[in-house]
Amino acid sequence: MINDELSAKSLTEEKSLWAIYIKARRIPFNPFNLWSTILVTILVITQYCVLEIPIDEKLKIVRDFSSMAIGIAVSVLGFILAGFTIFATISQPEMFVAMSKHRHEISGLSYLKNNFFIFMRVFIYYLIYTVFCLFIITFGIQGGIFHKLSTLSPISCHINEWLIGFSYVFLHAGLFFLLTQLKSFIFNVYHSVMTAIRWKALQ
């Protein structure tokens, strides 16, 4: 049954990546990806807490890791864009139209948007991670904006420790999370291609 949410007009109602992300939140995470990321995050937090090194060395680790991680994230982003292009070009328009007319049971979106939003959500995660790395590289230098602002506070030493700790955990656990998303992305590309071929075979 077709209603307003499954109509042709609704296909272009999202006007930004933010609008896509808001709706993509309806799609549940793979349980393995979720729980493994939580476990790794706990381990990274524990690792940071037991590090018996000066704050300057921790900051150097964060800066060096962010420089490496941004290269990885940008490279993988190019790879997954290519994968998405394969999925979008090999699939039949008739199949997309049929998918847009049926609602996914869990997310409540059409099957078309459910599948596409899974891909788009991965792009958004990689973009967020890349921007975070860029902010550290640009503003996290000695004497930079973050350093100047933190020195204005009477508890600047604690603020620095919190910022560095958060960055350390986000960078390391975040990269693992992106790898789990890459794993799922690869399978989704495979599954989408097989679905398109099966659709063609049944015509």
d(CA 48, CA 68): 19
Determine the pLDDT at residue 1: 39
Query: Are the C-beta atoms of 73 and 133 separated by less than 8 Å?
Result: yes
pLDDT for res 4: 59
Q: How far apart are CA 25 and CA 16, in angstroms?
A: 15
Residues 115, 99 contacting (CB under 8 angstroms): yes
Tokens representing residue 53 in the block: 């090194």
| Tens-binned pLDDT, residue by residue, of the chain (203 aa) | 344 566 677 777 888 888 888 988 888 888 999 999 999 999 999 999 998 888 889 888 999 999 999 999 999 998 888 878 877 777 677 788 888 888 888 888 888 888 888 889 999 999 999 999 999 988 877 767 766 666 666 666 677 788 889 999 999 999 999 999 999 988 888 887 787 788 777 77
Q: What share of the chain is helix, strand, coil (3-state, %, to 5)?
A: 80, 0, 20
Q: How much is the pLDDT for 85?
A: 81
User: How much is the pTM?
Assistant: 0.86
DSSP-derived secondary structure letter, 23: H
Domain boundaries, the chain: 65-203
CA distance 127 to 68: 15
Instruction: Report the pLDDT value the prediction gives residue 7, as an integer from 0 to 100.
Output: 67
Q: Which residues make Cβ contacts (< 8 Å) with residue 80, sequence separation at least 6?
A: 119, 122, 123, 126, 182, 185
